[in-house]
Structure formats: C-alpha cells, structure tokens
A and B are shown apart, each in its own frame.
Chain A
Amino acid sequence: MKIFVNDVENLLVESLSGFAAAHGDLVSLNLDPHFLTRAHKAKNKVALISGGGSGHEPLHTGFIGHGMLDAACPGHVFTSPTPDQMMAAAEAVECGKGVLFIVKNYAGDVMNFEMAAEMISCEHATVLTSDDVAVENSTYTTGRRGVAGTVIVEKVVGSLAETGADLAHCKALGERVNQRTASMGVALSSCTVPAAGRPTFDIGDNELEMGVGIHGEPGRRREAMRPADDIVNDLVTAILHDLKPVEGSEVLLMINGFGATPLMQLYMLYHSASKLLAAHGLTVARSLVGNYTTALDMAGASVTVCVLDDEIKQHWDSPVQTAALRWGR
C-alpha cells in the first residue's frame, strides 16, 4: 500500500509538528520527551493527561484544549508512550489540584502510566477505560480494551474538571462514564503500521473481522460480508447485552470510523444503529459521528453507546474547544 512518507523514522515527529503548527492557538508541542499541552496553561483545576500509541488520531492530541485534556503523550505507532513523557507532561500542566491520567486498558499503557505515577510527586489518580465488549471481562484477566468510548470519558471528565471539581470527583465521574459506555467494532480491511510496511492481518475481499481492536488486532470472529443492517445489529446487540439499559433511558450514540471508511458510510451506520436503539425503547439524545479513534488506514467502524444521566449529559453539552471537538464556545 502507498503512504505519504519522507523517512519513516521521522513520520511521527513530522506529523506532530504539523498538528502543533495547524493548531497553534490551542496546543503547544514539546519534543524529547514528546508531549503536547494546551497553548495556555489552565489554572486551579485537576490536570487531565492522556496518551497512548500514535495512529489513533485525533485521539488523544486532538482533544487537548478547554473542556477536555490539559496534555497528551503520543507514543510510537500503536506503542504506549514512556514514563518520562507522562512525568514531563505532569510537571508542565499540574496546577495545584493534582493530575488525573486517563488510560486505555492495554498492558503497555497501564504499565508505563503506572511507572510514571510511581515517580511523580504531586497528587494523582488514574481512570482506566475498558469499553470494548468484543472481549469478555471474566475469562481473560487483562480485561477489556479501551477504545472509542475514551473520547466520551475525556469530554465529560474534562468538563467537570473545568468547574474546579477535586481529583476524587473527577476520577469517580470518569469511572461512572466508563461503566455506562460500551463499544464494539468491525473491520473490512487491515491497517499497515508504516515501519512494518505490510498489513497487520490478511483479510479476504468478501470477509469482515467482527470485534476488531483499534490496532488491527484480530477480533473474535472472521465472517463473510453481510448487509450493513445485519452487521450493525450484531454490534448493537452485543453492546446492549453488556449495558442492559433500562427501557426509556437516554443514550449517546457514537459511530466512529477507523480511518478508511467514508463519512457517508458512517452516517448510514448511524441510521441503522439509531433505529435499532429506538426499537429497544431507548432515546438517542446525543450523537457523535466521525473519525475520532482511528486505526491508521483500517476500513471499518465501531459503535459506542453511553447511557446518559443528568450529570453526564450536562458535561457532554458544555463548551469544548479542541482541534477535533468544538462547540458552545
């Protein structure tokens, strides 16, 4: 496959530099160690820091700014960032009320953030996101993966943090959003890690990977292609089986593209998923459609449902000003 590249070793730094230049009003970039912060440091709030492997853009760098993150630490493609990055980021953005790390539940991310947390001196806490229902929680002790639902956690906790809420409150709300959020994805093609130069997995023209992860790691089943409504039905069924929302609940429906699926397709999936949710007696009160947690050039999409309550809804609606989400301000 073809990609734009000068030297594959410099791809990440060139991309981060472009991002920082394009959004100079919102973010500023530090190299060695790599981290990005808000262009204007916030005051008197819990500092929210996330991070993870690159290749999922706009996650997490695209969510730095008022109402969401204070800093993000990008790792190499699909590889967790390192503790020195989180420590430097924490030092740069901490402003008296402690640091909350928002970490997707992968062994590497968890260990690197854990080592950073052990070495920093300010007050800190961590929220682990684990919204992917493709993997059962009980059998495999690593637990569920954190995927697109992380965006909702970052938005809602980000809003709460702006109000000056303390660290314990921010952590508790983050965990509540995570518990009320479930996702599942499907891939139509593989992705290609630039440095590896070949597709991560092989998939036939008439096949799909049900339950795929955001690194192109194989899901639970390889299946033949089916009509879109059928595929969405499987995703929504798995999500609702996990969430068990009370009939009449308000939900947020997010359709997330993995990078190579056009918006036209994503809206078609939204149409399909929202009808299904309505048929289950749920009210789709909020929506988000677009490429928010990508897997490089993978074709496919994920469905995320978050069961709202008044506090979550209020913080979802509040103003946000980041490169990838911007409203009310």
Chain B
Amino acid sequence: MKTEFILQAVDAISIAIHAHESEIESLDRAIGDGDHFINIKRGVTTIAAMREELSALPADVALQRIGMKLLSTIGGASGPLFASFFIAMSKTLKTQQEESLATIAAAFADGVESIKQRGKSDLGEKTMLDVLIPVAQTFRQQVEAGADMPALLTAIKASAEQGMLSTRDMLATKGRAAFLGERAIGHIDAGAKSSQVMISAVCDLLAQT
C-alpha cells in the first residue's frame, strides 16, 4: 500500500461522510446520543490536515500515526476503536516482507480483530462490527479465490451494504443503543452506517485507479 493511496482514501472518505451527514445524524439521534457524525468528522478533518506530515512516511508508519492521532482527537467509543484498527493494521503491514492484496486483506482482518478485542464485542451486537467482520471475511475469501479487482470491489461493497442493513433488526447489546433494549429494533446502527459509507468510498476510489 502506498501512502499516497492512504491520503487519497482520506479525501474520498471525507467527501462520502459529508454527503451522508444528515442520514448518519438522524440514525444516531434515533438510538444513540447524536454525536457520532461530529466525532467522525473531527477525526477525518484532523487526519486530512496531516497530509504534509503523512506524505513523507512509509504506509505502515503513516497508519500508525493516523491511529495515534485519532486516539487523541475523536474521543467517545469511536476514538479507541478506530485507533486500534489503524494501529493493528500498521503492525501487520510492518511485518510483511512483500506487499500483496493478501497482506492488505490480512492487515485489514487484524485491524477488525483489534476492534473486537477493544470493544469486547462481536458479530450481531448492532455495531460497526456487523459491517467490518463480513467485509474482512469477504476480502480474504475473494483474494484467496483469485478474484479480479472489479469482482473483489463489488463483493466487498455488497458485503458492507448487507452488514449495515442487518443491524436494522438486531437487539443492541453493545454501545449506547444497548440501553434502549427492544426500542432499538427497526433502526440501522449509525456506526454500521458510517463504516459502510467509508468502505464503499474506498472501493469506489480503487475502482477509478
């Protein structure tokens, strides 16, 4: 992975997140506490402002810097979770001799694993993990099956979309929505939505390049 690609991805994520502002905010107001979009925006804006510093770094170091910066700027539950993701991804990339789609898929999966551990959460609890876990699995399976780039991206986007929608009928057992019990059923989780939007944006960027 090239640092330049990471910077392009940050821009793409920033545009996509802003395009979905009202949707994410209304989901969070329904079953959260209304601060998810503000926190995500703060993270994205802060990372975008690090462009100059990051561009001079190798990709694994850039991801580590991004993780540490997110840890000290986002706060809430999203901060430690996103930070853990990037720091774990960075660690895996650092240990890889040569870079391939398989190593990136492995790094992504390790990032998701660290979110599971930090949040003590798993699939089916109405969180961002309902998007990230299926995406990590799809990513790895498609790469192992030798899928070409367009097929890989289509499969990942579909997996993210499906995971996001799956949160609608779940009972929340983690995160702020957990306090709502059955009242959260029928609402898509805002964290699942924002993760799906970000993954989709990165896939679209890759499709263009």
A interface residues with partner B (beta carbon < 8 Å):
33, 53, 75-84, 106-108, 111-112, 114-115, 134-135, 139-142, 145, 193, 195-196, 200-201, 213, 215-218, 220
Q: In chain B, what residue has the closest Cβ to A115?
A: B80
Q: Is the contact region of chain B dominated by helix, strand, or loop, or is it mixed?
A: helix
Q: Which residues of B contact A108 (CB under 8 A)?
A: 75-80
Bound complex: CA A208 to CA B48 (Å): 42
Interface residue from A53, A83, A196, A217 paired with B179 (Cβ < 8 Å):
A217
What's the minimum C-beta distance from B175 to chain A, rounded to whole angstroms? 6
What's the minimum C-beta distance from B165 to chain A, rounded to whole angstroms? 22
Write the B153-165 contact mask toward A (1 if CB under 8 angstroms, else 0): 0000000000000
Q: In chain B, what residue has the closest Cβ to A217?
A: B33
B interface residues with partner A (beta carbon < 8 Å):
25, 29, 31-35, 37-39, 42, 71-81, 118-119, 172-176, 178-181, 183
- Indicate whether A196 sits within 8 Å of B72 (C-beta atoms), given known contacts A78-B33, A107-B77, A111-B118: no
- Residues A80 and B79 in contact, CB atoms below 8 Å apart: yes
Centre residue among B38, B72, B75 by max chain A CB count within 10 A: B75
Interface residue from B75, B118, B175, B179 paired with A75 (Cβ < 8 Å):
B75
Q: Which residues of B contact A140 (CB under 8 A)?
A: 172-173, 178-179, 181
- Residues B29 and A201 in contact, CB atoms below 8 Å apart: yes
- Residues B34 and A107 in contact, CB atoms below 8 Å apart: no
10 pairs of A and B residues whose beta carbons are closest in the complex: A108-B77, A215-B33, A108-B76, A111-B80, A142-B178, A79-B76, A107-B77, A79-B75, A200-B34, A84-B72
Q: Which residues of A contact B76 (CB under 8 A)?
A: 53, 75, 79-80, 108, 112
Q: In chain B, what residue has the closest Cβ to A200?
A: B34
Q: In chain A, what residue has the closest Cβ to B70?
A: A82
- Residues B75 and A81 in contact, CB atoms below 8 Å apart: yes
Q: List 6 A-B contacts (CB under 8 A).
A: A79-B38, A80-B77, A114-B80, A140-B179, A141-B173, A218-B31
Q: Which residues of A contact B33 (CB under 8 A)?
A: 78, 200, 213, 215-217
Q: Is the contact region of chain A dominated by helix, strand, or loop, or is it mixed?
A: loop
- Residues A106 and B173 in contact, CB atoms below 8 Å apart: no
What's the minimum C-beta distance from A216 to chain B, rounded to whole angstroms? 7
Q: In chain A, what residue has the closest Cβ to B127?
A: A107
- Residues A112 and B35 in contact, CB atoms below 8 Å apart: no
- Residues B179 and A141 in contact, CB atoms below 8 Å apart: no
- Residues B173 and A107 in contact, CB atoms below 8 Å apart: no
Q: A79-B74, A142-B173 are in contact. List 19 more A-B contacts (CB 8 A).
A: A53-B76, A76-B39, A76-B42, A79-B76, A80-B77, A81-B75, A82-B73, A82-B75, A83-B72, A84-B71, A107-B174, A112-B79, A135-B179, A140-B179, A140-B181, A213-B179, A215-B34, A217-B180, A220-B183
- Indicate whether A111 sits within 8 Å of B174 (C-beta atoms), given known contacts A75-B76, A217-B180: no
What's the minimum C-beta distance from B68 to chain A, rounded to whole angstroms? 9
- Residues B174 and A216 in contact, CB atoms below 8 Å apart: no
Q: Which residues of A contact B174 (CB under 8 A)?
A: 107, 141-142
Q: In chain B, what residue has the closest Cβ to A76?
A: B75
Bound complex: CA A77 to CA B81 (Å): 19
Q: In chain B, what residue has the closest Cβ to A77?
A: B35
- Residues A115 and B77 in contact, CB atoms below 8 Å apart: no
Q: Which residues of A contact B35 (CB under 8 A)?
A: 76-79, 193, 195-196
- Residues B179 and A115 in contact, CB atoms below 8 Å apart: no
Q: Which residues of A contact B78 (CB under 8 A)?
A: 108
